[in-house]
């Protein structure tokens, strides 16, 4: 008993000692923080508008997307494409019976009705390689569709369905007037979920996804959710106007992660009008080579501004040359539209046609000049035959005589590592699929009209004049 009593006394004394130490050494010297160092800076998060009549403030009403959704959802269609492939599904199919057999494949995307009589704009990659196209409206009615024309370089295609009823359609808006931060809706069929509407804002404009490609694009970037199946669908403003054709996403997973891109409506409308009126795309060019202003250009050309397009070279006989554009000029505006980077310039010029006159404001020797430039007609000079793995160009004068032929195009570059082993640069392609080719435009026409899975046969003229045929699958 005495043993337990002594333990209890020890415990009590220990507790008293601990409490006393805390009071003496800790609680008696608290850490003081100056209030001025931690005082938060509170900022109201509501947005108010001052009423100038009675000097009162009121909260702005919330954005309502229902009008735009109701106006557009019935004009966005589900596009299904059917094609033929011979790609093997496994190693057994690859090596057995001479390779894989033909089989039917199906893909899907979206499209936007732009006229009440059934013209539909979509992405070229949605219908590329299709043998049959089926379009399903929001009311579940399905129609066979035909391809009117394509612009693979801009990833735009025009298709049409025939129907007696007047269809709902989306009117074109002015994509140049769209503002960063503006609310938009993406309407489409992601993952075959028909008639899906998502909302977001315009995150950026004149976005170029191919920085090192000669074919500089100018996309609208949005954070409205876009996923596989949305391609070819509509990007609309809150008025229900079409300001873009949803085309691509940037993702490491293949699904939406916050970045999506659309072809501006002004560019798409111009392409569609060209296809209907001329049968192909009429491209006007300014006739300059240059780039976005960067520190190196500022130093080399002694440029006094940090934004714009510097002119490094002016092509002979071009509209720019005739108008007086000079090397070293900085292009700041076109038709009053600010030009901050090269994709701003190409995006606007691509919405114009040959012989259109644009007002180009340049900075030269720290003085601004406005030069009226008549756009020249774009003539394709080079073309990539991707299935073969080569780039071709029009032959220089008298070049074909060396090979004793009167037609053909020159291989200017081997694109794939496999083709680079054969030293093909400078050789002549005289025929493709048995058809004679005289220039790059004819090559492009033949290749663009092939189905995606079709073989391609080229006739190659060697340095010794010998002609050989090669088949590429």
Active centre residues (catalytic): 125, 155, 231
CB-based contacts of 386: which residues, under 8 Å, 6+ apart?
Answer: 415
Q: Is 384 exposed, middle or buried (0-12, 13-18, 19+ CB in 10 A)?
A: middle
| Whole-angstrom distance, CA of residue 118 vs CA of residue 109 | 17
* Residues recorded for the chain: 473
Q: What ranges in 199-326 are assigned the alpha helix state H? A: 265-278, 295-301, 319-323
CA distance to 103, 158, 213, per residue, from 83 (Å) = 8, 18, 29
Q: What ranges in 116-191 are assigned the alpha helix state H? A: 124-127
CA angle 196, 83, 122 (to 5 degrees): 40
| Whole-angstrom distance, CA of residue 172 vs CA of residue 295 | 39
Contact 189, 282 (CB under 8 A): no
Q: Is 279 exposed, middle or buried (0-12, 13-18, 19+ CB in 10 A)?
A: exposed
Residue 286, both tokens: 């300014």
Q: 414-446 burial, b for 16+ CB within 10 Å, e for fewer?
A: beeeebeeeebeebbbbbbeeeebebbebbbeb
Dihedral sign (CA 440, 446, 449, 455): negative
Residue 43, both tokens: 């900022």
HEC assignment per residue over 195-215: CEEEEEEEEEEEECCCCCCCC
| Whole-angstrom distance, CA of residue 246 vs CA of residue 79 | 14
| Whole-angstrom distance, CA of residue 276 vs CA of residue 156 | 13
Dihedral sign (CA 161, 164, 167, 173): positive
3-state secondary structure of 282: coil
**Residue 341 main-chain phi, psi, to 5 deg:** -150, 170
């Amino acid at each position: 008993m005495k043993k337990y009593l002594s333990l209890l006394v020890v415990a009590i004394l220990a507790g008293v000692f601990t409490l006393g130490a805390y009071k003496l050494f800790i609680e008696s010297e608290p850490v003081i923080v100056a209030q001025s160092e931690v005082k938060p800076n509170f900022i109201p998060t509501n947005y108010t508008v001052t009423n100038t009549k009675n000097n009162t403030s009121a909260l702005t009403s919330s954005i309502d997307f229902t009008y735009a959704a109701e106006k557009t959802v019935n004009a966005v269609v589900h596009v299904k494409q059917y094609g033929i492939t011979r790609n093997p599904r496994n190693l057994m199919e690859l090596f057995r019976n001479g390779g894989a057999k033909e089989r039917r494949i199906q893909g899907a995307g979206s499209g936007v009705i732009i006229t009440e009589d059934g013209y539909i704009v979509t992405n070229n990659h949605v219908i590329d390689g299709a043998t049959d196209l089926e379009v399903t409206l929001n009311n579940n009615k399905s129609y066979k569709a035909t391809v009117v024309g394509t612009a693979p370089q801009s990833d735009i295609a025009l298709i049409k369905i025939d129907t007696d009823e007047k269809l709902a359609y989306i009117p074109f808006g002015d994509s140049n007037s769209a503002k960063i931060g503006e609310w938009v809706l993406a309407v489409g069929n992601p993952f075959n979920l028909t008639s899906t509407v998502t909302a977001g804002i315009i995150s950026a404009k004149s976005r170029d996804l191919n920085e090192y490609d000669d074919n500089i694009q100018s996309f609208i970037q949005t954070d409205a959710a876009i996923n596989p199946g949305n391609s070819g669908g509509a990007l609309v403003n809150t008025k229900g106007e079409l300001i873009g054709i949803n085309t691509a996403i940037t993702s490491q997973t293949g699904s939406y992660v916050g970045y999506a891109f659309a072809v501006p409506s002004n560019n798409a409308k111009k392409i569609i009008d060209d296809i209907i009126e001329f049968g192909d795309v009429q491209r006007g060019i300014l006739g300059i080579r240059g780039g976005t202003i960067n520190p190196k250009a500022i130093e080399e050309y002694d440029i006094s501004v940090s934004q714009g397009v510097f002119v490094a070279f002016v092509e002979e006989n071009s509209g720019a040359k005739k108008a007086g554009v000079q090397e070293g000029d900085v292009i700041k505006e076109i038709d009053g539209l600010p030009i901050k980077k090269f994709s701003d310039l190409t995006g606007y010029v691509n919405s114009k046609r040959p012989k259109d006159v644009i007002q180009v404001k340049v900075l030269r020797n720290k003085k601004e000049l406005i030069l009226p430039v008549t756009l020249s007609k774009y003539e394709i000079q080079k073309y990539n035959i991707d299935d073969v793995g080569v780039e071709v160009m029009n032959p220089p004068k008298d070049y074909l005589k060396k090979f004793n032929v009167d037609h053909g195009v020159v291989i200017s570059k081997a694109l794939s590592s496999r083709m680079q082993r054969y030293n093909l640069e400078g050789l002549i392609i005289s025929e493709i699929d048995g058809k004679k080719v005289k220039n790059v435009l004819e090559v492009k026409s033949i290749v663009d009209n092939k189905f995606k899975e079709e073989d391609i046969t080229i006739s190659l003229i060697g340095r010794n004049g010998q002609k050989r045929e090669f088949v590429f699958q």
